[in-house]
Amino acid sequence: MTETLHFIDGQFVPSRSGKTFDKRSPLDNRLMGTVAEGGREEVDAAVLAARRALHGDWGRMPVDKRVAMLHAVADGITQRFDEFVAAEEADTGQPRHVMQHAFVPRGAANFKIFADIIKNVPTESFMLDTPDGAGALNYAIRKPKGVVGVISPWNAPFLLMTWKVGPALACGNTVVVKPSEETPASATLLGEVMNSVGVPPGVYNVVHGHGPDAAGEFLTRHDEVDGITFTGETRTGTAIMKAAADGIRDVSFELGGKNAGIVFADCNFDDAVEGIFRSAFMNTGQVCLGTERVYVQRPIFDRFVAALKARCEAVHYGRPGAPGSNYGPLISQEHKAKVLSYYAKAVAEGATLVTGGGVPQMPADLAAGAWVQPTIWTGLPETASVVREEIFGPCCHIRPFDTEAEVVALANANRYGLSTTIWTQNLSCAHRMAAAIEVGITWVNSWFLRDLRTPFGGSKQSGIGREGGVHSLEFYTELRNVCIKL
């Protein structure tokens, strides 16, 4: 049994109230341990520690030393790679190879890339003519935003949390992280790494707990928090934006998606099937960038549906690291109930069930876990709930289309605008689609291929702002202008 504590001002501490909540395994619903339930006192202590560090050692540290320290954090993660993999596995139940090849290495990379960027970003300068002919020099400087509240979700906990903490610290801010209540382990483990490489107390703080009327909301309402960076549901983003309005705090939001995958008849068929399979079913469909709406050009529609069905029916459910296992459970019983309610709704709304639609037969030791089958539907109108709403599960609806104009209209007819994946060998078509589809990121003949120097974020109700590369500086720094009369 584990006991997960807060990390405040460089120390691992329980809640002063003594309150905890249970953490259960998604694999078998077994009680794994308890997690400290943070309240106002813990949020207050963490925010004040962050404020002290901002004006103390961290704030005074030369950039070169800060950059070296963040490289040491990345190296510290790599040295304890297996522990981070184990922490993420235990919390999420996802296959080991996903943690090993995607989620944990990205955690380390998120510190390195922003440490390097901060050393190499110029700011602008202008020479202004003045009536006396002497002129005035204007130049811009970047300063840290201050204390940043980081609120992160459960679907790729370490990757998504460090995606915010990396640039925040590189820019000289201090942070208070409120990880998802479902996945507290890796954020806590990172506290050990911070201490071991000498990051001053108060620079990185973690308060565990829930969202509404709990640690999450207390953090977003704290008047010593200067900005809030959030990844999660659009509905939660709405609540956080309202909280941030008090005190006019800045927000950066990465929110939900209902992404379209578009497959043209001229695509490389096998690559497209594999690409759409990954985008719809990796991480058991719990990926914001995932594909829950698939549009396939009519000449290859039946063949594509059959191939994707076969791919779904070949998954191997199992514990992370078990031989052959490549497919995990959903995060929780609560999320399982939500996904299954959509499975029932799809059939009630008239879908043709191609495969899945329920709970797989599992061995006795895993029967109580949050397992659901990968599921494909066809035959629904675009107004059906499962075609319109984000389910965040392993499922997709596939619909045939005939023309480019038709599929652009279908893809754009949604309130979300996060990402799309397009499969074609016609480069001109790919460029036209990329310009026409209203999303923050378009992948062509690929998916989840990320260059961390590029802008990342969503349009419409999928987010506010862009993070990644120099774009992260827009949120994590204040740009000041200095005007000197010569």
Which residues here bind ligand NAD, judged by CB under 6 A? 151-155, 160, 178, 180-181, 210-212, 216-217, 220, 231-233, 236, 239-240, 254-257, 288, 390, 392, 418, 458, 462-463
Cβ(426)–Cβ(266) under 8 Å?
yes
| Cα-based distances in Å from 247 to 42, 176, 227, 364 | 21, 18, 10, 53
Q: Which is nearer to ligand NAD, 207 or 263 (CB)?
A: 207
Q: Which is nearer to ligand NAD, 152 or 205 (CB)?
A: 152
In degrees and rounded to multiples of 5, residue 8 shows phi and psi of -130, 125
Q: Which of 254, 292, 390, 467 is catalytic?
A: 254
Q: Which is nearer to ligand NAD, 389 or 478 (CB)?
A: 389
Q: Tell me the C-alpha distance between 237 and 211, whole Å.
A: 11
Q: Tell me the C-alpha distance between 480 and 141, whole Å.
A: 5
Cβ(99)–Cβ(81) under 8 Å?
no
Q: Is the dihedral of CA 110, 168, 458, 243 positive or negative?
A: positive
How many Cα atoms occupy the beta-carbon half-sphere of 19 within 13 Å? Answer: 13
| Distance of closest approach, residue 283 Cβ to ligand NAD, in angstroms | 10
Q: Which of 401, 448, 436, 454 is nearest to 280 (CA)?
A: 448
Beta strand 395-401 with 291-297: parallel, antiparallel or unpaired?
parallel
Q: Which is nearer to ligand NAD, 215 or 294 (CB)?
A: 215
| Distance of closest approach, residue 83 Cβ to ligand NAD, in angstroms | 22
| Distance of closest approach, residue 153 Cβ to ligand NAD, in angstroms | 3
| Cα-based distances in Å from 227 to 10, 161, 173, 384, 471 | 22, 15, 10, 37, 16
CA 165 to centroid of chain Cα atoms: 12
Q: Which of 288, 312, 395, 396 is catalytic?
A: 288
DSSP state for residue 327 in the 8-state scheme: B
Q: Tell me the C-alpha distance between 424 and 228, whole Å.
A: 39
| Distance of closest approach, residue 86 Cβ to ligand NAD, in angstroms | 21
| Distance of closest approach, residue 354 Cβ to ligand NAD, in angstroms | 24
| Distance of closest approach, residue 221 Cβ to ligand NAD, in angstroms | 8
Note if 254 is an active site residue. Answer: yes
| Distance of closest approach, residue 4 Cβ to ligand NAD, in angstroms | 14
Q: Which residue is nearest to ligand NAD (CB)?
A: 211
Structure tokens at 478: 């204040």
CA 242 to centroid of chain Cα atoms: 21
Note if 171 is an active site residue. Answer: no
% helix / strand / coil in the chain, to the nearest 5?
Answer: 40, 25, 35
Q: Which is nearer to ligand NAD, 66 or 208 (CB)?
A: 208
Q: Which is nearer to ligand NAD, 431 or 453 (CB)?
A: 453
Amino acid at 42: E
Q: Which is nearer to ligand NAD, 160 or 351 (CB)?
A: 160
Q: Hey, which residues are catalytic here?
A: 254, 288
